[in-house]
Amino acid sequence: MLLSLRCEDGGQRMKLRFQPNSELFDSGRRAVTFEAVDGDKAVLCQVSEEALRDKVDNTATSEEALIAAFQSRRFSIEAIAAVKYGHGLIDGDGRVTVQSLDLTQRR
C-alpha cells in the first residue's frame, strides 16, 4: 500500500510504501513488526501485542493469532504508522510503534 502525506512544514510530499507480507512476530519486542520504505530509506514499524489484544482480538495469544489480528486491521494500522512517521513520532531506535491508544476499538 502507498500512503502519501504532506510534511508538517508544507514541504515535499513523502510517500511511505508498505511492504506486503513483511509482518513477523518479534517475541523480544512483544510486537508484530512490518516494513515500509520512504524513497530508498527503510522504515521499520511495529504494533504492540497489547494493542492487538486490546483493540483487535482479545483471544489472540499465539504468534499466528497475533499476525492474523494484524492482517485483519492492516490498512488502519499502516495508516496510523504513516501518520506517526509523517509527524516524526519515531522511537529512539528508529521504529514507528502503533500502540493501544493509537487504535480505535475492535469492530
Rounded Cα gap, residues 48 and 59, in angstroms: 15
What is the per-residue pLDDT for 4? 46
Classify each residue of 82-106 as buried b or exposed e, where b means 16 or more C-beta atoms within 10 Å of its C-beta. bbbbbeeeeeeeebbbbbeebbeee
What is the average pLDDT across 62-85?
A: 95
Instruction: Kindly indicate the confidence band of residue 92, based on its pLDDT and cuts at 50, 70 and 90.
Output: very high
More confident residue, 12 or 92: 92
CB 51 within 8 A of CB 99: yes
What is the average pLDDT across 7-19?
A: 66
